[in-house]
Amino acid sequence: MGRYVARRMLQIIPVFFGTTFLIFAMVFALPGDPIRALAGDKPQPPAVTIALRDRYNLDDPLLVQYGKYIWNLFQFDLGTSFRGREVSDIMSETWPVTVKLALTAFVIEIVIGLLAGVLAGLRRGSFLDNLVLISTTLVVSVPVFVLGFTAQILLGVQWRIFPVAGLSDGWPRSYILPAVVLASISLAYLARLTRTSLTENLRSDYVRTAVAKGLPRWRVVGVHTLRNSLIPVVTLLGVDLGSLMGGAIITEGIFNIPGVGRQVFNSVRTQEGFVVVGISTVLVLVYLFANLIVDLLYGVLDPRIRYE
Amino acid sequence: MAIDISDRPLPADREDSSRLLLEVDNLHVEFRTRDAVVKAVNGLTYSLSSGETLAILGESGSGKSVSAQAVMGILDSPPGFVTNGTIRYRGENMLTMPEDQRRKIRGRRIAMIFQDALSSLNPVFTVGDQIGEMFRVHLGMSKKDSRVKAAELLDRVRIPSAKDRVKDYPHQFSGGMRQRVMIAMALSLDPEIVIADEPTTALDVTVQAQIMKLLSDLQQEMSMGLILITHDLGVVADVADRIEVMYAGRVVEEADVGDIYARPAHPYTEALLKSIPRVDMKGQALSTIPGTPPNLARIPAGCAFHPRCHRAQAICATDEPEFAQVALGRRSRCHFWPEVLDDQR
Amino acid sequence: MSDRDIGDPDSATPGATSTATAQVGGFGGRQASLTADAWRELRRNPLFIFASAVIVLMLAIAIFPGLFSGVDATNKREFPCLLSNTVGTPTADHWFGFDLQGCDYYSRVIYGARPSITIGVVVVGLSVLIALLLGTLSGFYGGFLDTLLSRVTDVFFGIPFILGAIVFLSAIQGVEVLGLITLERGVTTVIIALTIFGWTTLTRLMRSSVLSARDMDYVQAARALGASNRRLMIRHILPNAITPVVVYGTVSVGLIIAAEAALSFLGVGLQTPAISWGLMISESQNRIQSAPHLLLFPGLFLSVTVLAFLMLGDAVRDAFDPKLR
- ipTM (interface predicted TM): 0.85
Closest Cβ opposite residue C27 in set B35, B61, B309: B35
Under an 8 A CB cutoff, do B123 and A227 touch? no
**Among the partner residues C158, C159, C162, nearest to A249 by beta-carbon distance:** C162
Kindly determine whether residue A227 and residue B124, on different chains, have CB atoms separated by under 8 Å. yes
Residue C3 has pLDDT above 90, yes or no: no
Q: Which of A58, B112, B157, A137 is CA-nearest to residue C304?
A: A137
**Would you place residue A144 in the very low, low, confident or very high pLDDT band (cuts 50, 70, 90)?**
confident
B169 at A interface, C-beta within 8 A = yes
Q: Per-residue pLDDT averaged across B116-133, rounded?
A: 93
Q: Which residue of B has its CA nearest to C8?
A: B300
Average pLDDT estimate for C245-255 = 89
Are C51 and C309 in contact by the 8 Å Cβ rule? The answer is yes
Interface test with A, best of C116, C159, C290 (most A CBs within 10 A): C159
Q: Could you tell me which residue, B57 or A38, shows the higher pLDDT? A: B57
A-proximal residues of B, 116-155, CB under 8 Å: 116, 119-125, 133-134, 137-138
Distance from CA of C151 to the nearest CA of A (A): 6
Cβ contacts (< 8 Å) between C5 and chain B: which residues?
295, 298
The domains located in chain B, with CATH, are 19-240 (3.40.50.300), 247-275+287-343 (no CATH)
Q: Where are the domains of chain A?
A: 87-301
What is the CATH number that goes with domain A87-301?
A: 1.10.3720.10
Residues B121, A209: C-beta atoms closer than 8 Å: yes
Q: Closest approach of chain A CAs to the CA of C219, in angstroms?
A: 25
CA atoms of B306 and B309, how far apart (whole Å)? 5
Q: Do C7 and B310 touch (CB under 8 A)?
A: no
According to the model, what pLDDT value does residue A86 have? 81
Please give the pLDDT value at position B275: 83
Residues in chain B, total:
345
Quickly state the pLDDT bin for C1 (edges 50, 70, 90): very low
Which of B294, B301, B311 shows the shortest C-beta gap to C6? B294
Q: Which of A231-235, B55-59, C88-92, C101-105 has the lowest mean pLDDT?
A: C88-92
- Give the pLDDT confidence score for residue A238 in this predicted structure: 79
Sign of the C-alpha dihedral computed for residues A262, A264, A267 and A271 taken in this order: negative
Task: Give the Cα separation of C64 and C78 in Å (integer).
Answer: 18
**Residue A58: burial class (beta carbons within 10 Å; 0-12, 13-18, 19+):** middle
Interchain proximity C154–A276, CB inside 8 Å: no
Distance from CA of B71 to the nearest CA of A (A): 11
> Chain A window 218-257: which residues touch B at a Cβ cutoff of 8 Å?
219, 224, 227-228, 231
pLDDT at A85: 78
- Mean pLDDT of the region C95-120: 81
Chain A residue numbers with beta carbons less than 8 Å from the beta carbon of C258 are 141, 143-144
Mean pLDDT of chain B: 87
Q: Which residue in C158, C266, C303 is closest to A287 by CB distance?
A: C158
pLDDT, tens only, A151-200: 888 887 777 777 777 777 777 777 888 899 999 988 998 998 999 899 88
Q: What are the pLDDT digits (tens) for B87-103?
A: 999 888 999 989 889 99
Which of C6, C17, C23, C325 to substitute to test the interface with B, most B CBs within 10 Å? C6
Is any Cβ of chain A less than 8 angstroms from the Cβ of C137? no
**In this complex, do B106 and A224 lie within 8 Å of one another by their Cβ atoms?**
no
Q: What is the count of residue pairs from A and C with beta carbons less than 8 Å apart?
A: 126
C172 contact residues in A (CB cutoff 8 A): 30
Distance CA B319, CA A145 (A): 72
Q: Name which of A153, A268, A284 is nearest C158 (Cβ-Cβ).
A: A284
pLDDT on residue A112? 93
What are the pLDDT digits (tens) for C265-309? 888 888 777 888 888 888 887 777 777 778 888 888 999 999 999
More confident of the two residues C75 and B203: B203
- Chain A residues whose CB is inside 8 A of the C170 CB are 32, 268-269, 271
Torsion of CA B100, B106, B108, B109, to 10 degrees: 110
Task: Identify which of C159, C304, C323 has the shortest CB distance to residue A23.
Answer: C159
Contact A228 B137 (CB under 8 A): no
User: What tens digit of pLDDT does each residue of B277-315 get?
Assistant: 888 878 888 888 888 888 888 888 888 888 888 888 888
* Nearest C-alpha neighbor of C254 from the set C117, C64, C114: C117
Is 90 exceeded by the pLDDT of residue C140? no
Distance from CA of C17 to the nearest CA of B (A): 6
B61·C25 Cβ contact <8 A: yes
Query: Is B210 or C6 the better-scoring residue by pLDDT?
Result: B210
Residues of A in contact with B171 (CB under 8 A): 303-304
pLDDT band per the 50, 70, 90 thresholds, residue C21:
very low
Inter-chain contact A18–C151, Cβ cutoff 8 Å?
Answer: yes
Which residues in chain C are closer than 8 Å to B38, comparing Cβ atoms?
A: 25
Backbone angles phi, psi at B3, to 5 degrees: -75, 135
pTM score of the predicted model:
0.80
Per-residue pLDDT reduced to its tens digit, C178-226: 555 555 667 888 888 899 888 988 898 898 888 888 888 888 888 888 8
Q: Show the DSSP H helices in C69-215 as ranges.
A: 105-130, 136-141, 143-157, 161-172, 187-214
Instruction: State the sign of the Cα–Cα–Cα–Cα dihedral B260, B262, B266, B270.
Output: positive
Mean pLDDT of A215-241: 87
Distances in Å between the Cα of C17 and the Cα atoms of A183, B292, B307, B311, C31 are 63, 9, 10, 15, 21
Chain C touching partners, 3 or more CB pairs below 8 A: A, B
- Tell me what pLDDT residue A269 has: 79
Cβ within 8 Å, pair B103-A224:
no
> Is A306 in the B-facing interface, judged by CB distances under 8 Å?
no
pLDDT band with cut points at 50, 70 and 90 for residue A35: low
Quote the pLDDT of residue B186: 93
Per-residue three-class SS string for chain A: CHHHHHHHHHHHHHHHHHHHHHHHHHHHCCCCCHHHHHHCCCCCCHHHHHHHHHHCCCCCCHHHHHHHHHHHHCCCCCCECCCCCEHHHHHHHHHHHHHHHHHHHHHHHHHHHHHHHHHHHHCCCCHHHHHHHHHHHHHHHCCHHHHHHHHHHHHHHHCCCCCCCCCCCCCCHHHHHHHHHHHHHHHHHHHHHHHHHHHHHHCCHHHHHHHHCCCCHHHHHHHHHHHHHHHHHHHHHHHHHHHHHHHHHHHHHHHCCCCHHHHHHHHHHCCCHHHHHHHHHHHHHHHHHHHHHHHHHHHHHCCCCCCC
The answer to whether the Cβ–Cβ distance between B300 and C9 falls below 8 Å is: yes
**CA–CA min distance B35, chain C (Å):** 9
Contact C27 B296 (CB under 8 A): no
